[in-house]
């Protein structure tokens, strides 16, 4: 009733990967988060890098986040 997975991938893929399981069909993604302090410290660098790479919307996104952070700090938001 219990044992190792005996279903192997085809076309030679079993040579470099293990058996087929539920995780074979899941999409793996990477997620990052940043603290308000981290955003304040890195936002200018991120904006500069994005602009130098032609990623104008990414640059604008970090500017908007930085501005929102500054507005919340001016209001004395306790969540920060």
pLDDT digits (tens, 9 = 90+) for 21-44: 787 788 889 999 999 999 999 999
- Over the chain, what is the mean pLDDT? 83
For residue 53, is it within any domain?
Answer: yes
Least confident interval from 8-12, 27-31, 49-53, 60-64: 8-12
Distance CA 12, CA 7 (A): 13
SS (H, E, C) the chain: CCCCCCCCCCCCHHHCCCCCCHHHHCCCCCCCCCCHHHHHHHHHHHHHHHHHCCCHHHHHHHHHHHHHHHHHHHCCCCCC
For residue 1, is it within any domain?
Answer: no
For residue 7, is it within any domain?
Answer: no
pLDDT band at 9 (very low <50, low <70, confident <90, very high): low
- Domain of residue 39, CATH code: 1.20.5.1300
Total number of domains constituting the chain:
1
Q: Is residue 80 predicted with pLDDT exceeding 60?
A: no
For residue 5, is it within any domain?
Answer: no
For residue 6, is it within any domain?
Answer: no
């Amino acid at each position: 009733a219990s044992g190792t997975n005996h279903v192997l991938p085809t076309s030679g893929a079993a040579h470099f990967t293990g058996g087929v399981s539920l995780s074979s069909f899941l999409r793996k993604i990477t997620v990052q988060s940043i603290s308000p302090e981290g955003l304040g410290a890195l936002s200018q660098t991120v904006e500069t890098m994005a602009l130098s790479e032609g990623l104008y919307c990414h640059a604008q996104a970090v500017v908007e986040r930085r501005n929102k952070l500054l507005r919340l700090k001016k209001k004395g938001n306790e969540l920060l």
